[in-house]
Homo-oligomer: A and B are copies of this chain.
Amino acid sequence: MGPYCTDWLGEYGCMALAVARPQTTQQVSAVLAACHRTGVPVVPQGGNTGLVGGGVPVAAGAEVLLSLDRMTGVRSFDEDAGVLTVEAGAVLQRVDEMLRSDHGRCMPVDLGAKGSCTVGGIIATAAGGVHAVRWGSLHSSLVGVEAVLADGTVVDGLSSARKRNVGYHWPHLILGSEGTLGVVTAAALRVPPAPEARVVAMLGFADWDGLRRTVRRALGSRGLAETVSAAEYLDAASVDVAVTWGGQRDPLDERYPYTLLLEAAGASQAYCSERMEEVAQGALAAGEAITGAVSASTAQARQMWGLREGVTEALSKRGRAVKLDVSLPLERMAGPQGAVAAARGRLRDQLDPAWLSPGPRGASTLEEGCVAGGWGCDGTDVGGVLACGYGHVGDGNLHLNVSVPSACAADGRPVGAEGDTLRRPPASSSAAAPPPSLAEAAAAARDASVPFVPEWVAKEAGMRGSVSAEHGVGMSKLGYAGLSRGSGEEALMRRLKAALDPTNTLLPGRVLAARGR
């Protein structure tokens, strides 16, 4: 039962009352009906890669975990319509591979967790990922859903017709409801033709405003236009983490404050290259970018992607991370007025300065110093507590992580187990403060960042931003999701929850805080 009951980040979870692994929709219905009758809460789960603690039990021994991992079948594929009908437990990557090899099509969503996350999970969380800038949110692709309501009622909205205006578009309400309104058992998705060609570019920027102007041009009608398929950014700290802890290679010659990854994809290699060259040359000519490289081979493209996609995993290897996932207007994302700078300022204010002391990687040469010295278990420099920013810049989506090291970069040895004290590196100047324990440092980093960052986002961006972009609310954002709800929204959400799950059987206390909280 273990792997089902702890979340990916290792932050939430406890023993379930039972784990149910149905193979059919009827069995899902039976489990729900039984739990509904007996007042037992149910926790639906797909690949358990969610990052907000929404898919694991949180009341010890009291909740039934309902895993969809045995429902992985493809029900049908409609070649003319380009619509795939598949069961909820199917793993994203496997479905994508099948579509590419058998039908010349692909899934419209791609994300780091693709090897484990499921079709039902991405629908439940309205997952975004790196191609949302091309194919939009999953609302763009969702054609139909088969779902089981909290009381066991099966609702069949599994049409493969792209247009079916015969009443309410309820599948789009299930989308993004994180399992609290119904269990998705199967879905029909419009899947795009897999691009034949792909070109990736990486550009280095000295300042955020330059990057922002390049992004705007790249996404415009004279830029990559219809071929754009990704627009991602990493700041220097993120690149550093990916290289040092993730073993990735940096395709650029040196470290820049901001690195932009652009991808063009379409039917013609020549045309994708032509457009990408134009955008890259334009950025250099306008003095926006300092350097740039356009992939000339699949291997180069893969290396560029490796750097970007390696950040999440590298952060996990480095230690603990406070993961924030926010939407912001570009001018408030990074740069002097941005959220990352605000978070760094806050860490500087709140934490023992020694934890953040400048390290040997010379952060001061960058617009935003970010990599700082710290302690290893044997005094090795591990870079201290750092805040890094990366994410889906083309969608206004920033991943802001505050990382507390728990492993040595050199050999992966732990720098300090729970309760251990960390040793100061020899170069460290501040000898006054006692070395912190890892748990202490992690708790301090969390307290400094939350609710500070969400409050900053809500205050500075209002409804132009969001305290949660793509990861959802689950458990971990319950305390502050309301900051980005407009007036009347929470009440409406509660009405919808009451209509579909009046007994609060599905995931009680997730997404919408229990009353009185």
Chain A residues within 8 Å of B, Cβ to Cβ: 78-82, 104-105, 125-126, 128, 132, 136-137, 139-142, 144, 146, 149, 153-170, 172-173, 175-177, 181, 190, 193-196, 212, 215-216, 219-227, 265-268, 271, 275, 327-331, 395-397, 461, 463-473, 477, 481-482, 484-493, 495-500, 511-512
User: Does B168 lie within 8 Å of A176, measured CB to CB?
Assistant: yes
Identify which of A132, A395, A396 gathers the most chain B CB atoms within 10 Å of its CB.
Answer: A396
How many angstroms between the C-alpha atoms of A104 and B219 in the bound complex?
11
Known: A78-B329, A222-B267. A467 touches B396 (CB 8 A): no
CA distance A446 to B54 in the complex (A): 53
B residues in contact with A496, CB < 8 Å: 168, 170, 173, 496, 499
Question: How far does the alpha carbon of A219 sit from the alpha carbon of B155 in the complex, in Å?
Answer: 32
Say whether A225 contacts B196, CB under 8 Å. Answer: yes
* Distance to closest chain B CB from A412 (angstroms): 33
For A128, give the chain B residue with the smallest CB separation.
Answer: B163
Residues B80 and A396 in contact, CB atoms below 8 Å apart: yes
Listed A/B pairs (16) with beta-carbon separation below 8 Å: A81-B396, A137-B162, A139-B172, A140-B140, A144-B463, A163-B327, A166-B466, A167-B481, A167-B489, A168-B493, A170-B173, A170-B492, A194-B221, A195-B221, A226-B227, A227-B266
Give every chain B residue within 8 A of A141 (Cβ-Cβ).
136
* Inter-chain contact A488/B167, CB cutoff 8 Å: no
Closest CB in chain B relative to A219 CB, distance in Å: 7
On chain B, the residues within 8 Å of A488 by CB distance are: 153-156
Contacts of A181 in B (CB 8 A): 168
Partner of A464, one of B104, B161, B190, B492: B161
For A190, the closest partner residue in chain B by CB is B136
The answer to whether A468 touches B165 (Cβ under 8 A) is yes
Bound together, the chains give a CA A212 to CA B126 distance in angstroms of 33
* Other-chain residue from B159, B225, B266 in contact with A195 (beta carbon distance below 8 A): B225
Given contact pairs A80-B331, A155-B486, enumerate 14 new A-B contacts (beta carbons under 8 Å): A140-B140, A156-B488, A157-B486, A161-B465, A163-B470, A165-B472, A166-B466, A172-B172, A173-B173, A173-B496, A222-B267, A226-B227, A226-B266, A498-B499
Instruction: Give CA–CA (A166, B220) in the complex, Å.
Output: 29
* Residue on B nearest A141 in the bound complex, by CB: B136
Closest residue of chain B to A464 (Cβ to Cβ) is B160
Residue from A105, A164, A463, A511 with most neighbouring chain B CB atoms (10 Å): A164
Q: When the two chains form their complex, are residues B162 and A78 in contact, meaning their CB atoms are under 8 A apart? A: no
| B132 with A163: CB separation less than 8 A | yes
Roughly how many angstroms separate A165 CA and B481 CA in the complex, as a whole number?
A: 9
Q: When the two chains form the complex, which single residue of B81, B327, B512 contacts A329, counting CB atoms closer than 8 Å?
A: B81
Bound Cα distance A265, B226 (Å)? 8
Query: Pick the contact of A271 from B167, B176, B268, B486 — CB < 8 Å?
Result: B268
- Is the beta-carbon distance between A155 and B193 smaller than 8 angstroms? no
Q: How far is the CB of A46 from chain B (nearest CB, A)?
A: 16
* Closest CB in chain B relative to A460 CB, distance in Å: 13
Q: Is the CB of B166 within 8 A of A473?
A: yes
Question: Does A225 contact B464, Cβ atoms closer than 8 Å?
Answer: no
- Cβ B126 vs Cβ A136 within 8 A: no
Question: Contacts A157-B486, A163-B466 given: A193-B221 contact, CB under 8 Å?
Answer: yes
CA of A126 to CA of B160 in the docked complex: distance in angstroms?
17
Alpha-carbon distance A158/B173, docked complex (angstroms): 17
Q: Are B267 and A330 in contact (CB-based, < 8 A)?
A: no
Most buried by B among A82, A146, A176: A176
Task: Decide yes or no: A396 and B163 within 8 Å by CB, A176-B168, A177-B169, A225-B193 being known contacts.
Answer: yes
